Chains A and B, each alone.
Chain A
Amino acid sequence: AQSVAQPEDQVNVAEGNPLTVKCTYSVSGNPYLFWYVQYPNRGLQFLLKYITGDNLVKGSYGFEAEFNKSQTSFHLKKPSALVSDSALYFCAVRYRPYNQGGKLIFGQGTELSVKP
């Protein structure tokens, strides 16, 4: 079965420090991986995705993620955290390509808290 796991419910970092939000996946076939951010009472905003190509994906707001096939991971990173990065982060996998339908399966979410 297709699944996504975010092992940390919460991540706390100090402003200016690097941050990592972890994600591991289990899919059959090639994974299509996504990261989204959610602010309180809002929908999800797209950060970045991995479909194919370079394992290091750069996205919005200075975020990047590294696809590691051997470890089945897709951790989200940022070199220098901002207080405004504090939000709920979701990793997701699509287990079918577009032309065969494409549901997103979400991880349980990780709450990122960046303190001044």
Chain B
Amino acid sequence: GAVVSQHPSRVICKSGTSVKIECRSLDFQATTMFWYRQFPKQSLMLMATSNEGSKATYEQGVEKDKFLINHASLTLSTLTVTSAHPEDSSFYICSARDITGGAGYTFGSGTRLTVV
């Protein structure tokens, strides 16, 4: 089935630095990818929709300049958390639309970001 690889699985960074998270569709082309943020034992909050070759669409309240999304190819989307602060610590999950697969949406395994 469709597989989405998300890397890294865990990252610890210092306040003020930037962190890049990658999301790759391994065996299908993903014209659309989604980035979610999840707090412990809470629901997934959609941050933005990433479209290949165009600007991402951000949900209300999500800072575009802080959470930079790039979807330069049909198999790769990246989320960069810029000038990270401790309150950015969270679990970030990407998802890709697989229009050929039965599930429709395939999720990455998530990235645990800790900002110290």
Contact = CB atoms under 8 A, between A and B. Distances in A.
B25 interface: no
Main secondary structure of the interface of A (DSSP, over half): strand
Contacts, number: 57
Contacts of A34: 104-105
A41 B110 contact: yes
A89 to B, nearest CB: 11
A43 B108 contact: yes
B109 interface: yes
Interface residues of A, number: 23
Interface centre among A44, A98, A111 (most CB of B within 10 A): A44
Interface of A: 34, 36, 41-46, 49, 88, 90, 94, 98, 101-109, 111
Given A43-B109, A44-B95, 14 more contacts: A34-B105, A41-B9, A41-B112, A43-B6, A43-B110, A44-B44, A44-B93, A45-B107, A102-B104, A103-B34, A103-B49, A104-B34, A105-B46, A106-B44
